[in-house]
């Protein structure tokens, strides 16, 4: 299997290099064919790996490929850990990436950077595969930074746009904040274990948990809590958790295919995967789990509210991603790691579907993205309509859809997780994910109704050219709609209650909430039939009804509500002023501090006093000495006489 593992990783890398360096020689068709074939090959081989590990009973592989440095016993290696958690992530990443590659042929067909774009998205796939397949922290960090780099290149792909350059710089800098915490967490791991290898570190987890570290002198903290919180700060950046979420909505400045790839299968899922992989560490720190739970709860509810006031079709879906990532983070915070990964998987399919459906609408609307200028597209774009409906139903957790199984059971896991000492934190987590169901349904179907139903609000020129998009766009939509609709039926039992992950995920007996839920599990059909009796279903139904009433039946009411509650509307429209905090606060503050240091420190003190001041002093002193040097012999004799007199006077005085 080692050769298969290498092929899965290296095929997208090789395709990226060929498309990037030899794009002119192979042409546009060559660039898309080689990358599509490479990622498709990675997907097929990933399915074979999953089959071997799950259905054929194969053993997980954990091995080193190459050791490039050894320092005082610390080994720096390239290696793979391929267990069932890895295999699931490999299948999700490669399948969604494959669909995005095919879709890109239609979406980017007129773009002058065609070959470059295919090179980037193939390189993105390689980076994410290196991250999920790593067996050590060093390689994890390599993949972590590589997906960050490629996201920077892709968000700013249209580099002639000021907004795109601002967005990719914003993503890069915000992620540097998170990555600073992440690398400190890795440093903490090395400090206590002198190892970067997962297995070695996990084997010493009890030892780490028994030690303390002084972040501030005289204030000892539990070492495991410090390490896990630092690692989670990295996850907050990559998976866009508040307050490090501000970069993700602006990532919409990149082409739609990369929005789907970033939001569904690659960069933003890295943080969720990392925390699940580090479950042997997080399970030993109640403090770290509490931090994860609170941050996830805040993101899940409050970021969802922002989707209600967005009018850009891609930004609505982007804020949906923020909210759903919050759901996954809440699940991690209550030790329901399997539930988080399960929702990650189903979310990857329906979120990629929603983004690509939005892109299909944008193509048909000649790159118009304001949902207030759409309406009635159902009759013009039937395939996009039905696939977008499936994606929206999966997002809100309609009974039987893929999102239903993962979202409902995630919320139930949070509900069942109330263990001693949790108190208010438990209620924050549970109420946020429960109320978020209504919010999700409201913003999802607000967008759906405004785009596909109601009166046609586009101009006559756009309306005259409306039609369904080409097959290279619609085929990926259909292929993503299928798992979005049915994937939960086949996967919920093995992943959540069948011990699918085995030793890949670790929960202490006290935190094993899914084991307690297993006693009440009566199969997929039983869960669907029970759905009507839960508040989750009725909250989702209320959200859909509210969206229908406000935006189809009485479209005059939303404007009145915005006027009546203008303060709340402004708060949501300004995104809780987080952008102002980061841009006008931290960024502008840093620039102002630099300006002060330049003006006062560099120019006044260093240049003015130290450098130029020294030169001026020497010049003045030299000017005085110059007057003394007259060239007359009797002047020098007189100076010598005065000097000798002073010396004799000093000697006599002494």
> Are 431 and 536 in contact, with CB atoms under 8 Å apart?
no
What is the C-alpha to C-alpha distance for residues 404 and 130, in angstroms, rounded to an integer? 31
Query: 208-235: per-residue pLDDT in tens?
Result: 999 988 878 878 889 999 999 999 999 9
Per DSSP, what are the bridge partners of residue 66?
A: 78
Other CB atoms within 10 A of residue 51 CB: 13
- The percent of residues above 90 in pLDDT, for the chain, comes to 55
Query: 5-31: per-residue pLDDT in tens?
Result: 999 999 999 999 999 999 889 999 999
Other CB atoms within 10 A of residue 139 CB: 22
pLDDT for the residue numbered 590: 77
Say whether pLDDT at 422 is over 70: no
Query: 73-87: per-residue pLDDT in tens?
Result: 888 889 999 999 999
Say whether pLDDT at 390 is over 90: yes
> Are 291 and 235 in contact, with CB atoms under 8 Å apart?
no
What is the C-alpha to C-alpha distance for residues 522 and 529, in angstroms, rounded to an integer? 10
How buried is residue 432: exposed, middle or buried, by Cβ count under 10 Å (0-12/13-18/19+)?
buried
Structure-token pair, residue 122: 């193939």
pLDDT for the residue numbered 184: 95
Please give the DSSP secondary-structure letter assigned to residue 312: B
pLDDT for the residue numbered 420: 59
Three-state secondary structure along 124-149?
Answer: HHHHHHHHHHECEHHHHHHHHHHHHH
Query: 475-485: per-residue pLDDT in tens?
Result: 999 999 999 99
The pLDDT-based confidence of 61 (bands split at 50, 70, 90) is very high
pLDDT for the residue numbered 137: 94
Least confident of 53-57, 234-238, 419-423, 580-584: 419-423
Which helix (H) or strand (E) segment holds residue 77: the answer is strand 74-82
Structure-token pair, residue 265: 């299968």
pLDDT for the residue numbered 421: 59
Structure-token pair, residue 225: 């809590």
pLDDT for the residue numbered 31: 92
Query: 234-273: per-residue pLDDT in tens?
Result: 999 999 898 888 888 888 888 888 888 888 878 889 999 9
pLDDT for the residue numbered 419: 67
pLDDT for the residue numbered 485: 93
Half-sphere exposure of 581 (CA within 13 A, CB side): 12
Tokens 């959200």 correspond to 543
What is the SS3 assignment for 67?
Answer: strand
pLDDT for the residue numbered 301: 93
* Rounded (10°) CA dihedral 313, 314, 316, 320: 150
Please indicate, yes or no, whether the overall pTM of this predicted structure exceeds 0.85. Answer: yes
Query: 169-210: per-residue pLDDT in tens?
Result: 888 888 999 999 999 999 999 999 999 999 999 999 999 999
Query: 288-342: per-residue pLDDT in tens?
Result: 999 999 999 999 999 999 999 999 999 999 999 999 999 999 999 999 999 999 9
Length of the chain: 654
Q: How far from chain centre, in Å, is Cα 361? A: 25
Helical ranges in 465-556 per DSSP H: 471-492, 513-518, 524-530, 535-548
Say whether pLDDT at 504 is over 70: yes
Least confident of 107-116, 311-320, 592-601: 592-601
- The percent of residues above 70 in pLDDT, for the chain, comes to 99
């Amino acid at each position: 299997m080692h050769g298969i593992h290498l092929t899965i990783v290296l095929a997208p890398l090789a395709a990226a290099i060929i498309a990037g360096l030899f794009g002119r020689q192979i042409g546009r068709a060559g660039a898309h064919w080689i990358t599509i074939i490479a990622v498709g090959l990675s997907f097929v081989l990933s399915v074979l790996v999953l089959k071997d590990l799950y259905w054929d009973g194969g053993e997980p592989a954990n091995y080193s490929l190459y050791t490039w440095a050894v320092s005082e016993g610390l080994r720096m290696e390239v290696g793979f850990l391929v267990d069932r958690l890895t295999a699931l992530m490999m299948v999700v990443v490669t399948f969604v990436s494959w669909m995005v590659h095919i879709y890109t042929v239609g979406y980017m067909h007129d773009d002058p950077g065609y070959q470059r774009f295919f090179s980037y998205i193939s390189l993105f796939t390689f980076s994410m595969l290196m991250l999920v397949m790593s067996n050590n922290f060093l390689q994890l960090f390599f993949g972590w930074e590589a997906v960050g780099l490629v996201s920077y290149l892709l968000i700013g792909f249209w580099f002639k746009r000021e907004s795109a350059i601002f967005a990719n710089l914003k993503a890069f800098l915000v992620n540097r904040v998170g990555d600073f915490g992440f690398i400190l967490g890795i440093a903490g791991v090395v400090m206590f274990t002198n190892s970067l290898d997962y297995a070695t570190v996990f084997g010493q987890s009890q030892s780490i948990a028994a030690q303390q570290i002084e972040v501030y002198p005289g204030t000892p903290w539990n070492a495991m809590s410090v390490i896990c919180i630092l690692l989670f700060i990295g996850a907050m950046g990559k998976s866009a958790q508040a307050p490090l979420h501000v970069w993700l909505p602006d990532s919409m400045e990149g082409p739609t295919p990369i929005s789907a790839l970033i939001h569904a299968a690659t960069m933003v899922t890295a943080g969720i995967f990392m925390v699940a992989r580090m479950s042997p560490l997080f399970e030993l720190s109640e403090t770290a789990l509490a931090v994860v739970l609170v941050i996830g709860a805040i993101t899940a509810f409050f970021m969802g509210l922002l989707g209600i006031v967005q009018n850009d079709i891609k930004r609505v879906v982007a804020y949906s991603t923020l909210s759903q990532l919050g759901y996954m983070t809440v699940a991690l915070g209550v030790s329901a790691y399997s539930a988080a990964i399960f929702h990650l998987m189903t979310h990857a399919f329906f979120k990629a579907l929603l983004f690509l459906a939005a892109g299909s609408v944008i193509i048909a609307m000649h790159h118009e993205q304001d949902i207030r200028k759409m309406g009635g597209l159902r009759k013009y774009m039937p395939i996009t309509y039905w696939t977008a409906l499936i994606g929206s139903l999966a997002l809100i957790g309609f009974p039987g859809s893929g999102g239903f199984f993962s979202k409902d059971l995630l919320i139930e896991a949070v509900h069942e997780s109330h263990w001693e000492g949790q108190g208010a934190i438990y209620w924050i987590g549970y109420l946020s994910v429960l109320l978020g169901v209504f919010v999700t349904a409201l913003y999802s179907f607000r967008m759906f109704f405004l785009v596909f139903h109601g009166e046609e609000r586009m101009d006559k020129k756009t309306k005259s050219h409306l039609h369904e998009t080409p097959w290279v766009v619609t085929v990926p939509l259909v292929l993503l709609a299928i798992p979005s609709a049915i994937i939960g039926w086949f996967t919920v039992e093995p992943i959540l209650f069948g011990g699918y992950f085995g030793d890949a995920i670790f929960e202490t007996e006290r935190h094993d909430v899914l084991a307690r839920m297993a006693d009440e599990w009566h199969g997929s059909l039983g869960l669907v039939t029970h759905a009507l009796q839960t508040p989750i279903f009725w909250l989702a139904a209320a959200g859909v009804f509210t969206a229908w009433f406000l935006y189809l039946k009485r479209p005059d009411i939303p404007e009145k509500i915005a006027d009546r509650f203008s303060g709340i509307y402004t708060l949501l429209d300004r995104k809780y002023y987080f952008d102002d905090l980061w841009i006008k606060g931290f960024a502008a503050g840093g620039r102002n501090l630099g300006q002060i240091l330049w003006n006062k420190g560099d120019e006044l003190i260093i240049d003015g006093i130290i450098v130029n001041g020294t030169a001026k002093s020497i010049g003045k002193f030299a000017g005085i000495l110059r007057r003394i040097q007259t060239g007359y012999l009797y002047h020098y004799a007189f100076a010598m006489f005065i000097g000798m007199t002073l010396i004799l006077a000093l000697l006599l005085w002494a």
